[in-house]
Structure 1
Amino acid sequence: MLYESICSLLREGGGDAPEAAVSSFRFARQDLLLEFASVERSSSMFKNRWPVGILVLMFCAFFSLSALAQETTGGLQGTVRDPSGAVVPSARVVVTGSSLVGSKEIETDASGYYRFANLPPGTYRLTVTAKDFKTFKREGLVIEVGHLPSVDVILEVGASSEIVEVTSAAPQIDVTTSRTMTNITEDVIKYIPHGESFQSVLQFAPSARNEPLMGGMGMGTPGTGGCSPTGCTNGAANGYQVGGAADSENGYLVEGQDTANVIGGYSHTNVPFDFIEEVQVKTSGIEAENGGALGGVANVVMKKGSNAWHGSVVAQYNSDTMNGAPNDYSRYDPAGPGASPSWGLVDPLHQDYQPRKDGTKDFLPGITLGGPIKRDRLWFFAGFNPELTKLRRTVDFSSQGLGLQKFDQNQQTYYTNARIDANVSKKIRLFASWLYQYQRESGQVLPHADSTTGLFNVSSTSPLFVFAHGLGFTAPNQTTNVGADFTLTPRLVATTRFGYFFENYKDFGFPTSGDTYFWNSAATAATQDVNGNCFGARMPSRVMRIMSLEKAGTTPLILGFFPMLIAARQWAATSMWATAITAAHFRFMSQAAASGQTSRKT
């Protein structure tokens, strides 16, 4: 190998390698890199998990019951009484709403109690009728995800043909929960400023905040690829902190399905706000089923169809002219000091590096459509919302005689959503939802931006092919949920939910064989071991460059390119059975991840 050839020259000459040899190595390395194709790998580690997963899911489906699936729905309960305060048994209670297919009805029990489970978030109307009493109606009941408010009813004596409409009443209060929850409803999403990802509304909840100083670097990491919506550093430097926990310690759910990365804990899944009905944020008292969340839990509930046709055509545009300059960050001076005193170590000088502003364009067109396939029976909702971004960075490579060089980073993300809700009969309701996002990025590896104050840019000595536009990644991401509600008796509802989450990050354009690093300057005898073999005692250059620790002309510029394939699958089944005074909740989840990378030591 060329690297070993340089070492041979050092052993023979006892000094620096000829410049011609180093230059030959550089150009040969460049030619080798450009011939590399993308790496594709597959894993069979999931195959043996299918039989076990299917058996467990069948068990959950046939032997588990539910009264309130709080991942994506709410409920309503109360007691019906007459003017004297006596309970009214066998009263007929009906609830209807804009987000509920058809209606639900139940009769009060011997104690006058009623309870509705699995009500999608929205605004409802409650109607109560009983023999020898006037009909009671109350409009504008707001049901939020995870809440079970109590609405007690006082019936007036009279004929049922007479209607008593309540237009103002005491607010609904949920006295059944000990959790701290914040529900960010559609009107808040529409009128309150927020970021582009649903994670950005976490900061609306108590004890949650956007925390850019949770550790690590003070800036986003360039060129890592596959960044989560909350940042590129797995919760270290960016993200949303809940109760002191890092971003990667939060739980991010879509329609009740966990979308956390199995390896790092963060979420690559994003949901455009045009698809969102409500976001629920739990900050304390989190249930055991979300035991992996040490901070908070954000749960997205997506929009549904209705009896009325509705839709939207939207567009959002953002560019560098609409935004301020990037934040500065601290680094060590790459040029010094070169030696440490005999009494210890001295840190290099500190520098505040203010990067130049990049040219950016971000365009998000979209369309949504929902309505009835059959009124009160079958609804649908669908949406498509691509996001097209472009970043252009100009860097001065005059140190190599190349002048100003332009680098483009292009990313395309295609969000697609579909949902079906069906009212099969008075006792059976079904739903299915699907969210898919496919992301592709070219120009993944970018050089550092130049300094506005003329400080040395450590990327300016790197060869241009390191930042080739053909280096990038693809990242499909899918979340699927299906469920059924069965009303077995007036007081018992069985619910079965099944969720599937899949993500697959894959680099392309990176090498899969050959030498994976070289020296910026000719190696010296000081960089050989006792046997005369070349080695590098310093930290890998890619890490050093990210941490701004690189010293010009003395460290290896590239440890290597690591083509990566990260695939993760997650299966979950949720169920619960309950009576008026007791409840039991069951949840099964199976997660599997496979990763592969190609590297070669020399």
Structure 2
Amino acid sequence: MSHRALACLLMIFSVPVMLAQYTTGTVQGTVYDPTGAVVPNGTVVLRNLETNVTRTFKSGNDGIFYFAAVPPGRYELSVEASGFNKAVAQFSAVASQTISQDIRLTLSAANTMVEVAVRSSSVELDKTDPQLSTNRDPLEVNDLPTQHSTTGLVTYAPGVQPMYNPRGGSLVKLSGAQTGQISANGARAEYGNSELDFTDANDWEFGGFALGTTPATDFVQEFKVLTSNVSAEYGIKAGGEIMMITKSGSNNWHGEANDYIQNDFFNARNFNDTTGKAARTDINNYGFSTGGPLVRNKTFLFGGWRQNRNISAGSTYLANVPTAAATDTVTDPGIKSIIQTYLPAPTVATSNPNVGIFPVNFSSPGKGYQFLLRGDHNFSDTNSLAVRYFHSTANTVLPYVGSLVGLANEGALLTAESRNANITDTWQITPTTVNQLRLGYARSVGFLPPQMQNPGPYFTVTGLITFGEYGGFPQGRIFNIYQVNDVIAQARGKHQLKGGFDTRVIQDNSYNAGTGQFFTRGYFVFPSEAAFLNAQPSVYYQLFGPSAEPFRTKLYSAFAQDDYRIMPDLTLNLGLRWEYQGSLDAAGGQFSLLDPTVPGAIGAAGRGPLGSFVVGNPIVHSNPLNLAPRFGFAWNPGAGRM
């Protein structure tokens, strides 16, 4: 059993896991007459300018209208009431945010049509929700310099700090370093939640986005970060929320093709370069995306493909190796075989006749591809279905020269793969009630096989290099996440009600050949070169037993939320979450833990205060009662203040 993997899984269960139900945007407002009095019984129509899909709401006596489950995009809002001219407003809706768009009608005697032009939702304050969030639209995600990373702008959100790997999908956790995506308002980065189209995209072992689950920038419609004061429908872990929403087709065909090239022909020399030439870097990332109607106003398609290739000149590491004079003193046949198998002859002399230098040239080339397919179909103005599939693969050489090993070809090959599928059904049950049902599947593979064909033990010699294939390879993990969530929203007078549930089954199939100094292939430690040449190790470690770790768990949650608009400028936000944290089990029950509360003998040590080993499931018991009340308010005193 790997201490690293167990510690990470136990960490997941040591924090309050708060599963989230994820919803799209909300549009609301109040209809007023020229004097500021509310206009009852107005007919409010919300039309998607890209797909021409419309929804209708009849405002009540309080003049309030409300549209839930609004996908991101550009919209037109038109309002008609008896005795008044029709008013029209245009704006952009965004995910997980309420757009407040009040409408002021003019008397029909004026015989005019009033248009309220709002170019972007960013000029409108969210006047009903206290949550703090940062939104990035397609122009920002695709065109700003973000190192061609969809998540490149995440660290610019207020209250956010980048962590170990700000582009997501961390590989290892060493020396207490935090892994994951971001730290939001001081929370640990592992406790952040990542979503792709409102379903799971987490790396459940290290935090952040799962390996490979970051679509190309031209695939993304919107990127959002929630940092604090989130409503009862959000959570999962205890940190910030990071959401990516992919693009969908519209009534017009649009697309783009792109190619990012970086090589020594275009590159400038480094500031301290003395060779007169630019360092060799060969990067070629190219792809395309396109979307449009299959059937106008009914069926829409979107898709894209991207290829990535990265070859760099690499680096040079100066490795200390034994000289021929030192090797001639060896009498032990095992040490002679080790030197012949692993250690090259030095090419540069040093002041020590027994130690020479061998320059090690190494690089980290990589290549991969990804594609996205999405289809949206409107059965009617009240029912729609969206289906999306994302797939990516990547292969990279991780030499680890100078850190874990001292020679080339003793590191690892990283093979990563991501598959993420999502089905969303949106049903407007009545003009005031909308339901969204989502089915999600996410698979993330990260495997590090050794570069050597037949790796042997791992060696550390003080004064020389560390050599031999690193004992922690092969290692890797395969996550399978099965998810169902449902959210229903209803407008009832001044109350905006939401409720829902989330069910998630998590499979973590991990494999690890060792960690720390314990490896299945063995680890020799020599205190000096002389001890090595005389075959006198100070320590030998070896890990025995299976290295596969098939963990299983289930997570359930439900929530209820009421946004009560007490006054036009004051909204009270009340919510309650319930969590059921299922037990952590090992598939097949092949797991043992030392339980100090269970009397018994421990091998030859006999009975004692340490207890005894308990075999089988659960590894961690379930926690069925987690209640999380939420309270907040949003007050808009005017003058752009909130």
Shared fold by TM > 0.5? yes
Instruction: Name the structure with the higher strand share.
Output: 2
Aligned to 2:398: 444
Distance 2:113 2:298 in 1: 27
Q: Identify which of 494, 499, 510 aligns with 2:440.
A: 499
Aligned pairs (5 A) from 1:295-310: 295-310=239-254
Aligned to 1:198: 150
Distance 2:172 2:280 in 1: 23
Instruction: Name the structure with the higher helix share.
Output: 1
Aligned to 2:256: 312
Q: CA deviation at 1:312?
A: 0.2
Aligned to 1:560: 471
Deviates more, 1:145-154 or 1:314-323: 314-323
Distance 1:590 1:138 in 2: 43
Q: Identify which of 306, 310, 313 aligns with 1:385.
A: 306
Distance 1:487 1:238 in 2: 37
TM-score, normalised via structure 2 length: 0.62
Distance 2:404 2:118 in 1: 67
Q: Is the 8 A contact 1:101 1:421 kept in 2?
A: no
Q: Is the 8 A contact 2:456 2:468 kept in 1?
A: no
Distance 2:60 2:180 in 1: 52
* SS at 1:198 equivalent: coil
Aligned pairs (5 A) from 1:405-424: 406-424=361-379
Aligned pairs (5 A) from 1:126-205: 126-139=77-90, 141-158=91-108, 162-167=112-117, 171-205=123-157
Q: Identify which of 270, 284, 293 aligns with 1:372.
A: 293
Distance 1:149 1:258 in 2: 25
Q: CA deviation at 1:502?
A: 0.6
Amino acid at match of 1:189: V
Structure 2 vs 1, CA of residues 566 and 575 (structure 1 numbering), >3 Å: closer, same or farther? same
Aligned to 1:125: 76
Distance 1:193 1:165 in 2: 36
* SS at 1:203 equivalent: helix
Query: Is 1:433 the counterpart of 2:388 in the alignment?
Result: yes
Coordinate RMSD, CA, aligned: 3.5
Amino acid at match of 1:560: G
Structure 2 vs 1, CA of residues 210 and 554 (structure 1 numbering), >3 Å: closer, same or farther? closer
Structure 2 vs 1, CA of residues 423 and 238 (structure 1 numbering), >3 Å: closer, same or farther? closer
Distance 1:417 1:202 in 2: 22
* SS at 1:466 equivalent: coil
Structure 2 vs 1, CA of residues 326 and 487 (structure 1 numbering), >3 Å: closer, same or farther? farther
Distance 2:93 2:510 in 1: 42
Q: CA deviation at 1:161?
A: 8.0
Distance 1:74 1:142 in 2: 10
Distance 2:43 2:73 in 1: 22
Amino acid at match of 2:487: M
Distance 2:116 2:167 in 1: 47
Distance 1:318 1:232 in 2: 26
Aligned to 1:104: 55
Aligned pairs (5 A) from 1:306-385: 306-319=250-263, 322=267, 359-385=280-306
* SS at 2:313 equivalent: strand
Distance 2:319 2:205 in 1: 37
Q: Is the 8 A contact 1:485 1:495 kept in 2?
A: yes
Q: Is the 8 A contact 1:392 1:406 kept in 2?
A: no
Structure 2 vs 1, CA of residues 239 and 233 (structure 1 numbering), >3 Å: closer, same or farther? farther
Structure 2 vs 1, CA of residues 132 and 555 (structure 1 numbering), >3 Å: closer, same or farther? closer
Distance 1:230 1:249 in 2: 14
Percent of aligned pairs with the same amino acid: 23
Distance 2:191 2:50 in 1: 32
Query: Is 1:285 the counterpart of 2:229 in the alignment?
Result: yes
Amino acid at match of 1:496: L
Q: CA deviation at 1:236?
A: 3.0
Structure 2 vs 1, CA of residues 107 and 289 (structure 1 numbering), >3 Å: closer, same or farther? closer
Distance 1:575 1:189 in 2: 29
Total equivalences in the alignment: 447
Amino acid at match of 1:241: S
Greater relative contact order (CA < 8 Å, ≥ 6 in sequence): 1
Distance 2:504 2:231 in 1: 15
Q: Is the 8 A contact 2:320 2:465 kept in 1?
A: no
Aligned to 2:423: 482
Structure 2 vs 1, CA of residues 70 and 152 (structure 1 numbering), >3 Å: closer, same or farther? farther
Q: Is the 8 A contact 2:224 2:243 kept in 1?
A: yes
* SS at 1:579 equivalent: strand
Distance 2:192 2:75 in 1: 32
Q: Is the 8 A contact 1:99 1:304 kept in 2?
A: no
Distance 2:482 2:448 in 1: 25
Q: CA deviation at 1:446?
A: 4.3
Query: Unaligned stretches of 5+ in structure 1?
Result: 1-68, 213-219, 221-226, 328-356, 449-456, 521-550
Amino acid at match of 2:215: V
Q: Is the 8 A contact 1:512 1:563 kept in 2?
A: no
Distance 1:309 1:458 in 2: 51
Structure 2 vs 1, CA of residues 572 and 231 (structure 1 numbering), >3 Å: closer, same or farther? closer
* SS at 2:380 equivalent: coil
Q: Is the 8 A contact 1:130 1:160 kept in 2?
A: no
Structure 2 vs 1, CA of residues 404 and 555 (structure 1 numbering), >3 Å: closer, same or farther? closer
Deviates more, 1:369-378 or 1:472-481: 472-481
Q: CA deviation at 1:405?
A: 5.0
Q: CA deviation at 1:205?
A: 0.9
Distance 1:115 1:323 in 2: 55
Distance 1:394 1:359 in 2: 11
Aligned to 2:517: none
Aligned to 2:482: 571
Q: CA deviation at 1:584?
A: 2.2
Q: CA deviation at 1:554?
A: 8.1
Which digits, 9 at most, give the CA deviation of each residue in 1:288-339, with x for residues without a partner? Answer: 5553443322101111111111000111123577489799xxxxxxxxxxxx
Deviates more, 1:235-244 or 1:271-280: 235-244
Amino acid at match of 1:236: Q
Structure 2 vs 1, CA of residues 232 and 394 (structure 1 numbering), >3 Å: closer, same or farther? same
Q: CA deviation at 1:72?
A: 5.7
Q: Is the 8 A contact 1:289 1:587 kept in 2?
A: no
Q: Is the 8 A contact 2:23 2:487 kept in 1?
A: no
Distance 2:456 2:232 in 1: 49
Aligned to 2:11: none
Structure 2 vs 1, CA of residues 237 and 505 (structure 1 numbering), >3 Å: closer, same or farther? closer
Amino acid at match of 2:78: T
Q: CA deviation at 1:252?
A: 1.9
Q: CA deviation at 1:375?
A: 1.0
Distance 2:362 2:199 in 1: 38
Distance 1:257 1:326 in 2: 45
Distance 2:181 2:37 in 1: 54
Q: CA deviation at 1:412?
A: 1.4
* SS at 1:199 equivalent: coil
Q: Identify which of 401, 404, 411 aligns with 2:346.
A: 401
Amino acid at match of 2:286: P
Which digits, 9 at most, give the CA deviation of each residue in 1:414-462, with x for residues without a partner? Answer: 1111111111112211111121111122x332423xxxxxxxx9965x4
